[in-house]
Amino acid sequence: MNYARTALLLAALTAFVLVLGWMLGGKTGLVIALLAAAGMNLYAYWNSDKMVLSMYSAQPVDRSTAPLLVGIVERLTARAGMPMPAVYVIDQPQPNAFATGRDPEHASVAATTGLLAMLSPEELEGVMAHELAHVRNRDTLIMTVTATLAGAIGMLANFGMFFGGNREESEEGGGALGTVGTILMAILAPLVAMLVQMAISRTREYEADAAGAAMCGNPLALASALARLEQSAGAVPNAVAEGHPATAHLFIVNPLTGSGLAQMFSTHPAMASRIERLQALAGLAAAPARGPWG
């Protein structure tokens, strides 16, 4: 069900890009929108992981420089039958982690120094299992495409605002928003894109929690880590994330310190809901097998 919902939301976001292009410029606008979205996604497919790792000044580590972290990732990948990803550490006091890469064969996982200092080995294993679940589920690619499409929508909306839209009906159809319509579209289109991106991201976080809990075999350790991370991440600012909020969806917990309305539009589900689901999974795992008569 979660995969079907993700596919439908991605299809809706893609269609919205094309409709927005058509509304702003008819068939020509539709072609421009299609080419822009395709070009941006192609670039992101090959380069998004390098861009994000460089943005956060992530440093590669191995068994000699980060034996606990690398050892945990090696055990989890062996258990899950996955390729070993590149492992990075970010010199950042905010406890957090993320995964990136276009597929399991070209994946990277990164943890902050704050995360390594705060969590127990069991909690750290739960967090890395969550990130590896994103890799195995190809969420890193899904969210890259989602963020790119959302960026394309914002670009098209700004383009229409700058050029004022095509104010006359054309034989092609479309391109007839006019000044007021163009202004409204410039305001509403990025908002709609953000809401769809938020819905996709939240769906994938729930899925990664469940898959990560199964991978490490300890849902309660992941739940404990999430509870500690949320409290600390909200109190410790991440300057790079604040400057690049479009990358917030990558992290296991929201790296932004905003509150109130900003949290309502967070790309992450409510932490209480995530923890409750993990506790339910732990209860199911601990429940004794029952016969046909209970």
Active site residues: 131
Contact 6, 200 (CB under 8 A): yes
Please identify which residue in the block is written with the tokens 């995360």. 115
Is 130 annotated to bind a ligand? Reply is yes
Query: What gap in Å lies between CA 111 and CA 126, rounded to an integer?
Result: 13
Could you give the count of Cα atoms lying within 13 Å of 88 in the half-sphere of its Cβ?
A: 25
- Read off φ and ψ for residue 165, nearest 5 degrees: 70, 170
Question: Any idea what the Cα angle at residue 140 is, between residues 12 and 282, rounded to 5°?
Answer: 100
Is 134 annotated to bind a ligand? Reply is yes
Is 205 annotated to bind a ligand? Reply is yes
Query: What gap in Å lies between CA 6 and CA 142, rounded to an integer?
Result: 9
First to last CA, the chain: 29
Query: What gap in Å lies between CA 137 and CA 124, rounded to an integer?
Result: 20
Annotated binding residues, written as ranges, equal: 130, 134, 205
Give the annotated binding-site residues for Zn(2+). Answer: 130, 134, 205
